[in-house]
Structure 1
């Protein structure tokens, strides 16, 4: 538009742009058609599209959003072109999924790989740095599973889709508390094992006489706290 054509208040331009009011009815029909086509394509893509998305699935979802917008809103674009593009995206997603099923390398590239975040109650600091994962994020995920300290966890994996999966330690060992420090009542109510100290950075546990005044052998941190128990 030329700048002299822009003025305020121009309510028709503000509300419907350069189209006519009749086109609003057409937009309703276009949106309905594209919406139904999108539902059908998502249904054919499988149940995974309704859950936590992998990298490739997220890319497909973003693509579908871009495909859907133009046929719904642009008067010079037909809806059939959008539907054909939907079908192309469907076959692309199905093809990638089939290749990933048959080839482990393709699966890792398109869906990501599992990462070991915690082992035997000790955080993998280097792995967390590679994943750009903070301790608060890890602790929050563990608290949702009713875990109170790291000694209760044998393994913590971060799956390729971003979900955490936990293998619990049976029986639990002393470990670093994961309760928020600002929740003083809960922190003070937690049982502590004064025989063991836990590294506040990675959760490595050592006997108190050996740990006092030394650096953590796992992460070189020199700050310790009493290990929590059940």
Structure 2
């Protein structure tokens, strides 16, 4: 029958001292796996925290939690995990400060998603970000159409930074309010400015069917031009 405060069980769970080296190896492997998985998951999955910060929190949280609840988890292995994670943290921090490519791989880089009121298609495709999700972000910042936006950036933290046109410089653009955007159609019903529903390219169109010369898509939405309400 087990007794409380059995030091051999509580500290090492009756395992040999060499097991601590296995703990170091396991911690390093899981740290790298967490880092890679979250990097692949994309910026939006860890919004407001960097991928690196998220890995640290998960790693330390798991190491701290198990010995608190489970009697078969020794304190020394958990402490070894803490020390290993902190050392890995210092190593990764040093590498990110020394090597720009490594910093870009770990933290990601800022990406321009909207340039001069239109989507930067090549950049947008690289990010795991749906158009509806991005439109939602813009609407939360009181954007009604892309013609109000000079540039929009997806930061490495997952946040969206927006730089607006001055009121006098706002131009017609793709509406992003659902009741207007959902009017998109392959058949243009009247002559006037229309925006491609895929890339935001805005041009004068005549009734009929037209192909966007920027992205090759065929769905259009009547453009609007309103200044941003602040």
TM-score by length of 1: 0.66
Are 1:160 and 2:156 matched, yes or no?
yes
Gaps in structure 2 of 5+ consecutive residues: 6-46, 183-190
Deviations 1:103-142 (A, max 9, x none): 2111111111222212111123343332132110110111
Q: CA RMSD in A?
A: 2.9
Which of 199, 203, 206 is the matching residue for 1:206?
A: 203
Moved over 6 A (4+): none
Q: 1:183 to 1:121 in 2, by over 3 A?
A: closer
Gaps in structure 1 of 5+ consecutive residues: 1-17, 24-50, 185-193
The aligned residue for residue 177 of structure 1 is 175
What is the aligned residue count?
175
In 2: Cα distance, 1:76 partner to 1:227 partner: 65
In 2: Cα distance, 1:88 partner to 1:138 partner: 38
SS at match of 1:132: coil
In 1: Cα distance, 2:80 partner to 2:135 partner: 46
CA contact (8 A) 2:67 2:78 kept: yes
Deviations 1:12-69 (A, max 9, x none): xxxxxx989x79xxxxxxxxxxxxxxxxxxxxxxxxxxx8222222222221232123
TM-score by length of 2: 0.66
Are 1:57 and 2:90 matched, yes or no?
no
